[in-house]
Homo-oligomer: A and B are copies of this chain.
Amino acid sequence: MAELNVRFFSNCLHRTVEFRMLLPNEERKDIPWEEEKHRPEDMKTILLLHGYTGDGDIWVNRDEATNLNIAVVAPSGENGFWLDAEATGRQYASYVGVELIDYIRRTFGIAKTPDKTGVMGLSMGGFGALHTALAYPEAFGSCAALSSALIHHEVAKMKEGEGNSVANYAYYRECFGEPSKLLESDNNPETLVKKIKADGRKMPRIFMACGTEDFLLEPNRRFHEFLVNEGIEHVYEESEGVHDMVFWSKYSSIFMPQMF
């Protein structure tokens, strides 16, 4: 599995950015069974979205990604909730969903069709995985959302000067826009689901998981119920676990083979 670090100018973020990448295109000849893994015609791509406080580190199991012939692209989202904010250069949704996908298509010839392109994330990145796939269903055929920070209903109720133990009101307003308008906006994944349905576009396949001891369990159940009520086919799993890498490793291993 080749590993890359790529630094390029993002028009959406108005600056030079970096992302990390795994690319299963080695032709290793000293180990016979490694060589067999090289199948360029069958390569899939997962955009990997980190959580709050993280950066573009790659947290999936490399051997599993190699065996599944999956390239992994891990951008950095600087706590921006993977949304298009109002301020110039804070367009994270467009960055990962359009510009970055286009860049890796052009540069590496991968992620050309939605059936070979997925997005996976944890916590803030779980929210991002759902939002990105639902905002750009023509690009992403599937998404896997682990322990997702589906906090849009809580943010929508915030008032000037409020906030919580994680961040202040100014932070949430910058990421999600004016709270009172959030639920109607495209920053709400539910809005996007309804639009895709209304437009008759193809819904991305959705995989969700949350630990039963996770502090984000209720928002995950709430979104699961929303999908049930909307009649959207999806996978939703709960099992013992908290908001940590043990849970995320388990479910990235479970969902990766199912995404394609």
Contact = CB atoms under 8 A, between A and B. Distances in A.
A2 interface: yes
B107 A23 contact: yes
A15 B107 contact: no
A30 B6 contact: no
A241 interface: no
Interface in A66-92: 78-79, 85-90
Contacts of A13: 78
A249 interface: no
Contacts of A109: 109
- Contact-residue size bin, chain A (C-beta under 8 Å from the other chain): 35 or more
A166 B15 CA distance: 12
Contact of A86 (B9, B166, B170): B170
A106 interface: yes
A54 B107 contact: no
Contacts of A28: 9, 11
Contacts of A103: 25
A53 interface: yes
Given A16-B54, A16-B55, A26 B40 contact: no
A163 interface: yes
Contact of A171 (B17, B88, B168): B88
B30 A168 contact: no
A235 interface: no
A198 interface: no
A79 B15 contact: yes
Contacts of A90: 171
Interface in A1-31: 2-9, 11, 13-18, 23, 25-30
A4 B7 contact: yes
A214 interface: no
A174 interface: yes
Interface in A166-186: 166-168, 170-171, 173-174
A169 to B, nearest CB: 9
A15 B88 contact: no
B8 A171 contact: no
Given A3-B6, A3-B8, 7 more contacts: A2-B9, A4-B5, A11-B30, A13-B78, A16-B54, A108-B108, A109-B109
8 contacts: A2-B6, A3-B6, A9-B28, A9-B53, A11-B28, A13-B78, A87-B173, A108-B108
